[in-house]
Structure 1
Amino acid sequence: MMDDIAPFRLWLCRAYYLGIGLLLVLWSIVPFDLTAGSWPRPDIFYCITIAYVVRKPEWAPVWAVFFVFFMRDVLTLAPLGLFTLLIVLGSEVVRGNIQAFREYSFGLEWLWMGAIFTAITIVQQILLLLMLAQTPRFVEQIYLIVFTIMAYPVIVGAMKYGFGFTRPRPGELDAWGKRL
């Protein structure tokens, strides 16, 4: 009986991740403020993705991260696959060092999340400049980085206190009995 429920719950949680991602992608393309000089919005879905990967990596597999961010590239007319590649690489750095991330205090996790996002943004800007593509102003990118880093504790707090989404405890098992 439990074997039938665990895989269903896993796929349901993956569907939640994909649904939230696609909803946020659609939300990001709706023009709320058409005035020039509006503030950039934080990258909420990056924060959600890193929080998922640190807390429940099996709920946000690499193919789901790729799919949502690629759809975002397509719908926002961004250079196809550039941001997606960088986000997938960043999330895989976290996933590859998952034991260390689980042992970190929240402050260190937050610092690493910010460092990875800053690196992603800088590498993206450099690659766009090398390709002679149009890039956002440097100040806008700094605001984006700062707002995204500031949004991370809010997102993690909402996930923890609103949805009970916590880090696995030492010795906790996943749906297949594998130690987390």
Structure 2
Amino acid sequence: LNGRPAQGMPKFAFTDAQIKDLAAFFVSRSQAVANRMEYKILNVVTGNPEAGHAYFDAHCATCHSAAGDLAHIAAKFDPPALQSRFLYPVTRRYPGQPGPPPDPKGQVTATVTMPDGQTVSGSLLAQDDFSITLLDANGQRRTIPLEDNGMTKVEIHDPLLGHEQLLKQYTDADMHNILAYLETLK
């Protein structure tokens, strides 16, 4: 009621009923944020489809095709789910973690070539400065020491690396424009 003139907030002449209405509104907003299940996502398709198409062609078309793997993608997902799918395409799970088995589309694999020329390939389980651990095709866990002499060669294949790198580069406008473009792929 009195405002805070020194901080730039003017004085308001609200009735007790108006104050109660404002308080109820602010509490409802706080509760909606706290309880995400009640939160209603409004229109997230606010971008420019032409700008999204240009961004897609420049950054995504080397791996994806509007006529191939993304054909009719907008018919399969509502806009919030579609936006989530391109920003976070796969939840990473590793063998032994609780939950569903790892999604093969997002599985990081590695090939290790040892000094004698022998190679071992498989799903990457762990890697540090001293060793790498893979789950090979036979389901065997293989931990390979990484030699100091640099003779052991490690090649990592991460199918989602491009998505992770773009996530660090997207502006808000890029995300909205890409979604607007993807929404045209019905």
Q: TM-score, normalised by structure 1?
A: 0.23
Task: Answer 1 or 2: which has greater strand percent.
Answer: 2
Higher fraction of helix: 1
What TM-score comes out, normalization by structure 2 length?
0.23
Which of these two proteins has the greater Rg computed from alpha carbons?
2
